[in-house]
Amino acid sequence: MGSPKTFQAPLQIGGVPKRETRTQFAALCYRTRKTGVEVLLVTSRDTRRWIIPKGWPMDGLTPADAAAQEAWEEAGVKGNAHDHVAGIYSYNKKMEDGPDLPCIVAVFPVEVKKLEAEFPEMTMRKRKWFTPKKAAARVRELELKLILREFDPSRLR
């Protein structure tokens, strides 16, 4: 007979198993106009609330390049991604198969050079330009509000 096996229950929060925190990469898509800086928001697929393009890490891509890829897929953005992180925010991703998934999101500025009319998720999302202050008023996550309000592309150079 071997030694007894130890059973370790998963961490629980309020009786619900805790899910591991995941990392995502997001694109803060921006352009500079005579009137000032504008940032691009898109709607989420499910709740239709305003967000910035974001997604999971991608094999073979740097975090900034993964953010730029999400900007293309979700908003039709062609542009230059900066390796400089504009900020980090957290949120709980709603999951169909169980409890929410806690996520930490690193935000990378993407200077928009071209906005394509056709892109992979064009039928699933709306996109719209806002001043950073107005964009901050439309997103839900408090840390993202601060990132948007304080964004200044002149500090990227």
**Could you tell me if residue 21 is inside a domain?**
no
**Could you tell me if residue 82 is inside a domain?**
yes
| pTM score | 0.85
- The residue segments making up the domain with residue 33 are 29-156
Tell me what the pLDDT averaged over the chain comes to.
89
Closest to 112 in 3D by CA, of 81, 142, 135, 138? 81
The CATH number of the domain where 79 resides is what?
3.90.79.10
pLDDT over threshold 50, residue 59: yes
- Tens digit of pLDDT for each residue in 2-50? 544 444 444 444 554 556 889 999 999 999 999 999 999 999 998 899 9
Number of domains in the chain: 1
